[in-house]
Structures are given as C-alpha cells and as structure tokens.
C-alpha cells in the first residue's frame, strides 16, 4: 500500500552511476506486519531452475522508499526468488509447469487480489478510502501465488481437480508457502520463535495483513479480523459436502479459501509441535530446520497422495507415512495428534501405530525390526519390479487391511474409507514408490535382520526395508525404523 | 441343503467411490457457479472468477475448467 514518496538518495546515486546496489530494501512478510523492512541481497530472477521475468522495464537495484514503484519491484522480486530457492531443491523440478520462465505482472489492473493462471503470476492495485493497496508489495501474497506455481510444477494433476478439498489444499499450500518462505529470513525466525514454540498467533501465522485490511474496509465479514487468513485457528474438518457455499470468515464454508484454513491451521499447529519435538529449548536454527522438514513431508505426501474427494486425509496420511520413511517416525506424535484432533484423520487410521524410537540408542533402533506376518487380515500386493530398476521380477508387498495399520497409514485409511482391495493396492504401490524414491530399500543383502555395530555404515541404517527372495517373488518387509535425528547419521535432511 | 451365500459384487467399493466422487464434483461445481466464480468459455474472467463453463453434462450440470488460482 502506500502513498507515493520520493526515492532515497541512495537510489539516485545508483542510477546516476549506472551501477546497482548489492542489497535491496524489502518487507519481511507484509507491509502491515509488525516486522518491518530488511536489507536483502539483490535477487537474480533469471537463476534456475525456477526462473522469473517481471514484465516491463527492470529497476536498478537500490534502497527505495516504500510507496514507490521502484520499491514495489524489489519488494516482489526478493520474496519471489527467496521462495523459489526454498522450494526448488525440495521439489526437484527443472522448470515451472508453463515453461522455463514464469512471467510476473506487478500491476495487472484494479482489484484486491492476485492470481496464478499457468501463464503468469499477476498482482493488482486498488484504492480503498484514501489508500492505494498493491497486492504485489506483500511477500505473503507473492509467496502464496508462487506457492501455487510450485505445487503446479510438482503436481499438475491438482490444478483442475474438481474437488473442494483439492482446491482448498492448493490454497492452503499457498499460505504454507508464505509461512515457510518467510521462515527463510533469520529476522523472521528470531521474531516469531517464541510464539511458534508456544503455539500462539504470530506475524508468521497472519497471512496478508494488509490485503486483509483493504478487503475488510469493503466487507468486514469477508476476512479474518487481523489479516486475510490466520493459520492460528481452531477450525476442524467437516465433510465439505455438508457446508454452505458461502459464509462469513468466522465460519467454514465450501469455498476453497475458507476451507483451506482447516489444513493450514493443522499445519501451523504441527510446525509448533515439531519444533517442540526437535528441542525443548528451541533456537532460531531449530525453527529453520523444522521448516525444511515439514516442507519435505508436504512434498513427499503430495507426490504420493491420490487426488480424491477426501484429499486432506490423503495428504495427512501420506505425511505420516513420509515421516516414517524419511525421519523414522520422529514427528509422528506431532502429526497424528494434530490430524486426529482436527478430525482430518480418523483415530482408527492411526491407532496401533508403533511409536518411533526418537530417543533410542543405536542398538535399540536396530532391534525395532518390524516385519508384519501375513495373515487373513492382510493383502498381498504384487508390483512390477521393473518400475524400480530391478529387472523382470515381481515385488510382493504384504499390505495391512485391518484397522491397525502397521506399515502405512495411507493403506489403513484406504481400507477404512472404501474397504476396497484396489485402494489398498494403490496405497501400497505409492508407499513402495516413496520408499524407493528415498533409497530406503535394501535390494542387495536379502537379510531381514541387521546387526548394528559402531562399524555399520550409516548408509545401511537408512534402509528401513529389505527385499528377500520368496517363491512368489521379491518380498518387501520392514527391517527397522530409521533412527530419525537422534544420532549423527548422514541421512538427507 | 445349503443355500448359496450371496456375495457382494466385487465392484461395490469402486462404485461407492465413484458415487462419492461424482457427488463431490457436483458440490464443487455448484458452489463455484453459485458464488459467481465461473464465466462462459471465452469470456474475460471477472473479479474473483477462477473457472470457465465449457459445457454441460448429460444431467445439465455445468462442466468447469479452472483458469487460475486467486489469493482471496
């Protein structure tokens, strides 16, 4: 927002010399946030893999005053770069869904909104009362839209999925992207650490304070009282089929932005609980670490979760499975407690899960061998080994189909929701794909038990499952729960 | 004499899932149209619109295609 003001002298110097500054002045998370301006390195928008091109003439880097078009250029450019640099290595994508370079319109016209439409990111301005609001000036708004583009690059099938929960998850991902991108700034981590640790509302939880203020002036019931959408909320899941099409912001409705608050609320609570698991006296670096961990879980889960009407539960169950595969169940308590409390997952889908060995010694970790025996309450799923680079063989997976899932919450959820074997097979298939993607399968030793000594290579401890030769083919079984982060292993973070 | 035990058709689960998906899809489309978030195909997107109506299904319900995601 803001009224136009003159650029600072530094800008004039930079322009006069034909040179550019090394830093730019930008908002930390929103123009109306208590977190104010910060100096950041000049972002390179042409840097791959996720490149941008802001339409119109480029503005020389410099320290411009808020309210100027030059300031708004860098106020958008910096979070665009920061957010994409955060997501790109996690996504593993080589380009945006629409192509190599994502165009950006900083001022597409009059509106209190912004959008991503597979051709560009677009931001707007509008005068409300005496104030002109520019949506592209807010890092929250910028990183929300950039989040849509990232999720689209990662999971294009979601873009036009005709389900409320799929659309709502896309919106939630945008808000989560705003939170996680803001957490890449040490200044934001320092300012919000205590609030996140105590699970309280913070500048981080309040998404798009200024745009919320502008919309509230037009319709005071359309947005939250302190921002556009606050991730610190108590919304619980209800079947969106039962919700009205519209409602004031104080209630849930079947509109995707409104309904997204259920998942974003769970996410913010999980972030706090994960921080608590990581450290009882967390530091700013711990908050940085859990931001990366929860982002990894989101990306793993969205890669594996089938696009179905109950998409929130699909993502939630796959996040729990991803935590098992990636972190040895380190964050299981945070995930299960929150998803069950928020009614996103039924208690039955997570009941009976084995607790992770988060504080265990090396030998205890190895002792937790889990090879669920085949029984009348399990279903054997046969997969083509060729898909995993293992030649012309079959992989046999014993998938649980009872209400106490051992190997996979996603499989348990599929059983509970549909009772159909095809769903179990699909969930088991996705789980196995995830294990291979994270290099968690020992395809060579054929040994179900692993004797662990100090000399055991750390790489071996990452193999939570093993393939053993049986009459039916290569049978996949769990060998151990990975130790998580309690010992100095070199698993990818 | 033993009566043959009736077995549920194998497709019951899949049919149930299909019905659920169709209901979810209908609710989604109904909400989009009711809130004015859909425009006729080819028409410029109005403020807050996210979808185009590209046709109608056999029951006359609109078939939607997403054009964009918006902030609010």
DSSP state letters, A342-369? TTSS-HHHHTTPPPP-TT--HHHHHH--
What does the DSSP 8-state code read for residue A203? T
Distance CA A352, CA A409 (A): 10
Contact residues, chain B, for A143 at CB < 8 Å? none
- The residue of chain B with its CA nearest to that of A417 is B17
Contact residues, chain A, for B28 at CB < 8 Å? 162-164, 167, 254
* Mean pLDDT for chain A overall: 84
Contact indicator for A24, A39 with CB cutoff of 8 Å: yes
Of residues A418 and A125, more confidence is placed in: A125
Whether residues A112 and B72 touch (CB distance < 8 A) is answered with yes
Q: How far is CA A333 from CA A254, A313, A316, A352, A438, in A?
A: 29, 16, 13, 12, 22
pLDDT > 90? residue A351: no
Q: How far is CA A353 from CA A257, A324, A350, A479, in A?
A: 33, 10, 6, 16
SS3 B8: coil
Tens digits of per-residue pLDDT, A37-53?
Answer: 999 999 999 999 999 99
- The residue of chain B with its CA nearest to that of A166 is B28
pLDDT at residue A370, as a whole number: 27
Q: Does A109 touch chain B (CB under 8 A)?
A: no
Contact indicator for A420, A439 with CB cutoff of 8 Å: no
**Facing A145 at nearest CB: one of B17, B25, B71:** B71
**Facing B20 at nearest CB: one of A117, A254, A309:** A309
C-alpha dihedral sign at B25, B27, B30, B34: negative
pLDDT at residue A451, as a whole number: 65
CA-based nearest residue to A110, from A131, A132, A140: A132
Distance CA A251, CA A258 (A): 8
What's CA B4's distance to the chain center, in Å?
39
Give A254: exposed, middle or buried? Use CB within 10 Å, 0-12, 13-18, 19+: buried
Whether residues B71 and A114 touch (CB distance < 8 A) is answered with yes
Contact residues, chain B, for A171 at CB < 8 Å? 69
Could you tell me which residues are beta bridge partners of residue B66?
B51
Residues 8-67 of B with CB under 8 A from A: 12-14, 16-17, 20-21, 23-25, 27-31, 34-35, 47-48, 64-67
Tens digits of per-residue pLDDT, A182-234?
Answer: 999 999 999 999 999 999 999 999 999 999 999 999 999 999 999 999 999 99
Tens digits of per-residue pLDDT, B16-64?
Answer: 888 889 999 999 999 999 999 999 999 999 999 999 999 998 888 899 9
Q: What is the mean pLDDT of residues A106-118?
A: 97
User: What pTM did the predictor assign?
Assistant: 0.77
Write down the H helix ranges in A92-198. Answer: 139-154, 164-182, 186-197
Q: How many residues does chain A have?
A: 493
Looking only at the bridges linking them, the beta strands covering A51-54 and A101-105 are: parallel
Of residues A91 and A14, more confidence is placed in: A91
% helix, strand, coil for chain B, step of 5: 30, 20, 45
Cis status of the peptide bond prior to A487, with omega within 30 of 0 = no
How far does the CA of residue B54 sit from the closest CA of chain A (Å)? 13
Q: How far is CA A163 from CA A156, A157, A262, in A?
A: 15, 12, 15
Q: Residue holding tokens 């946030």?
A: A33
Whether residues A113 and B13 touch (CB distance < 8 A) is answered with no
**Facing A170 at nearest CB: one of B12, B67, B69:** B69
Distance CA B52, CA B45 (A): 8
Distance CA A243, CA B24 (A): 12
Whether residues B25 and A116 touch (CB distance < 8 A) is answered with no
pLDDT > 90? residue A159: yes
Contact indicator for A320, A335 with CB cutoff of 8 Å: yes
Q: Does B7 touch chain A (CB under 8 A)?
A: no
How far does the CA of residue A417 sit from the closest CA of chain B (Å)? 9
A470 phi/psi in degrees, rounded to 5: -130, 180
Q: What is the mean pLDDT of residues A135-142?
A: 98
pLDDT > 80? residue A279: yes
pLDDT > 70? residue A352: no
Q: Does A98 touch chain B (CB under 8 A)?
A: no
**Facing B66 at nearest CB: one of A159, A228, A245:** A159
Distance CA A491, CA A488 (A): 9
Q: How far is CA B37 from CA A172, A181, A223, A260, B65, in A?
A: 19, 29, 18, 17, 11
Tens digits of per-residue pLDDT, A434-446?
Answer: 567 556 678 888 8
Q: What is the mean pLDDT of residues A117-138?
A: 98
Confidence of residue A471 (pLDDT cuts 50, 70, 90): confident
Whether residues A117 and B13 touch (CB distance < 8 A) is answered with no
pLDDT at residue A292, as a whole number: 98
């Amino acid at each position: 927002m803001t009224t136009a003001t003159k650029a600072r002298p530094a800008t004039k110097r930079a322009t006069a010399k034909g040179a550019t500054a090394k830093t730019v002045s930008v908002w930390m998370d929103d123009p109306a946030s208590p977190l104010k301006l910060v100096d950041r390195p000049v972002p390179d928008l042409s840097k791959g893999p996720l490149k941008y091109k802001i339409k119109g003439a480029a503005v020389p880097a410099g320290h411009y005053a808020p309210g100027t078009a030059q300031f708004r250029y860098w106020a958008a450019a910096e979070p665009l770069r920061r957010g994409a640099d955060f997501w790109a290595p996690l996504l593993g994508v080589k380009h945006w869904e629409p192509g190599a370079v994502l165009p950006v319109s900083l001022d597409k016209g009059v509106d209190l909104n912004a959008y991503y439409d597979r051709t560009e990111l677009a931001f707007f301005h509008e005068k409300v009362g005496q104030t002109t609001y520019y949506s592209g000036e807010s890092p929250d708004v910028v990183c929300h839209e950039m989040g849509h583009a990232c999720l689209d690059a990662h999971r294009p099938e979601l873009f036009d999925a005709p389900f409320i929960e799929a659309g709502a998850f896309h919106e939630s991902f945008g808000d989560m992207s705003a939170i996680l991108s803001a957490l890449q700034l040490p200044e934001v981590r320092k300012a919000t650490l205590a609030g996140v640790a105590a699970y309280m509302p913070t500048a981080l939880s309040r998404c798009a304070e200024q745009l919320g203020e502008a919309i509230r002036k037009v319709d005071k019931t359309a947005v939250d009282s302190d921002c556009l959408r606050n991730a610190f909320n108590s919304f619980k899941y209800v079947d969106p089929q039962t919700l009205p099409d519209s409602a004031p912001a104080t209630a849930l409705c079947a509109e995707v932005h409104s309904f997204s608050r259920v998942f974003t609320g769970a996410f913010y609570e999980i972030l706090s609980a994960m921080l608590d698991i990581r450290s009882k006296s967390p530091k700013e670096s711990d908050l940085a670490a859990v931001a990366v961990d929860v982002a990894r879980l989101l990306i793993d889960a969205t890669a594996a979760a089938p696009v179905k009407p109950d998409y929130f539960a699909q993502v939630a169950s796959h996040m729990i499975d991803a935590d098992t595969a990636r972190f040895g169940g380190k964050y299981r308590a945070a995930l299960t407690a929150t998803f069950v409390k928020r009614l996103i997952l039924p208690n039955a889908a997570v009941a009976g899960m084995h607790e992770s060995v988060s504080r265990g010694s090396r030998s205890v970790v190895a002792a937790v061998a889990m090879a669920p025996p085949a029984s009348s309450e399990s279903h054997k799923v046969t997969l083509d080994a060729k898909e995993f680079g293992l030649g012309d063989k079959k992989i046999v997976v014993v998938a649980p189909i009872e209400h106490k899932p051992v190997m996979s919450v996603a499989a348990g959820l599929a059983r509970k929701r549909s009772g159909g074997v095809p769903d179990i097979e699909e969930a088991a298939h996705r789980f196995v794909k995830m294990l291979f993607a994270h290099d968690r399968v020992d395809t060579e030793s054929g040994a179900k038990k692993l004797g662990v000594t100090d000399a055991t290579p750390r790489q071996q401890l990452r193999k939570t499952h093993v393939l053993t030769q049986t009459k039916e083919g290569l049978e996949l079984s769990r060998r151990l729960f990975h130790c998580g982060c309690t010992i100095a292993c070199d698993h990818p973070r | 004499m033993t009566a043959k035990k009736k077995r549920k058709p194998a497709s019951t689960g899949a049919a149930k899932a299909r019905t659920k998906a169709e209901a979810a899809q209908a609710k989604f489309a109904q909400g989009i149209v009711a809130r004015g978030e859909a425009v006729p195909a080819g028409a410029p997107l109005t403020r807050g619109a996210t979808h185009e109506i590209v046709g109608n299904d056999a029951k006359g319900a609109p078939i939607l295609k997403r054009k964009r995601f918006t902030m609010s």
